[in-house]
Amino acid sequence: MPRKRRKAVASIETPDIPYPKVRVEWIDCVSDSGWATEKEFDRMKLARPINEGWLYEKTKDYIKLFASYDKDSDEISFGDRTMIPRAWVKKIQKI
């Protein structure tokens, strides 16, 4: 069977803001306050969210992302903000 070709993802440049656009794969905790059997408890898995947005800050302890913004004259307002502990981040990819 012939291999499927992958389409190249064009990098989206945003010249009006000085932040790179990224895709972040990470692991999140899961909690449930209900009752469960052993079998149900054993099937419990961590969540594996994916966020896309602009990388605001990256330190050894955390990353900060935003998915929307508003630029008014010389100031930027950030929306849809997320802060993720670095230990939970599995992959950061520029897009």
Digitized pLDDT (tens) for each residue of the chain, 95 residues in all: 566 665 544 555 566 889 999 999 999 999 999 999 999 999 999 999 999 999 999 999 999 999 999 998 889 999 999 999 999 999 999 99
DSSP per position, 47-94: B--EEEEEEEEE-SSEEEEEEEEEEETTEEEEEEEEEEEGGGEEEEEE
**pTM for this predicted structure:** 0.79
| Residue extents of the structural domains in the chain | 21-94
